[in-house]
Amino acid sequence: MNADLLTALVVDSGACLPALPGPGAPVTVVPMAIEIDGRSLRDGVDITSAEFYALLDRPGPLPTSSSPSPGDYLTAFREAPAGDILCLAIPARFSTMIRSANLAAEMLREE
């Protein structure tokens, strides 16, 4: 944790942020899972945006995505480079991401 930073930002990879400043930046991206051809790939880690969009142009089943787990968010919260965290996630009516983030926040408070 960097004592000079007041607040860290945590988002899921669906936020599609441009390139980040690098290690130590106050932004943590929690990767969504991309399911394709029976494989689960972490968005932005195992597959780039360009590779993902190329898959959309090919014939066959389309890739699907799933929300990060509460454990994924918990890891991101623990590793956040500041004491306070602002987590931005897709609303509950569209995804389970905010539920996962809220569960992780509750787990972190109980530690």
pLDDT at 1: 52
> Which H or E run includes 105?
helix 97-110
**Do 43 and 21 share a domain, yes or no?**
no
54 has which bridge partners? none
Instruction: With beta carbons less than 8 A apart as the criterion, state whether 8 and 26 touch.
Output: yes
Which of 72, 62, 63, 61 has the alpha carbon at shortest distance from 96? 72
**CA-CA distances (angstroms) from residue 109 to 8, 16, 90?**
16, 28, 22
pLDDT tier at 106, thresholds 50, 70, 90: very high
Q: What domain range is 50 assigned to?
A: 33-66
Number of structural domains found in the chain:
2
What's the CATH code of the domain at 101? 3.40.50.10170
Q: What is the pTM of this model?
A: 0.84
Per-residue pLDDT of 18-73, as tens digits, reads: 776 666 678 889 999 999 989 999 999 999 988 988 888 889 888 999 999 999 99
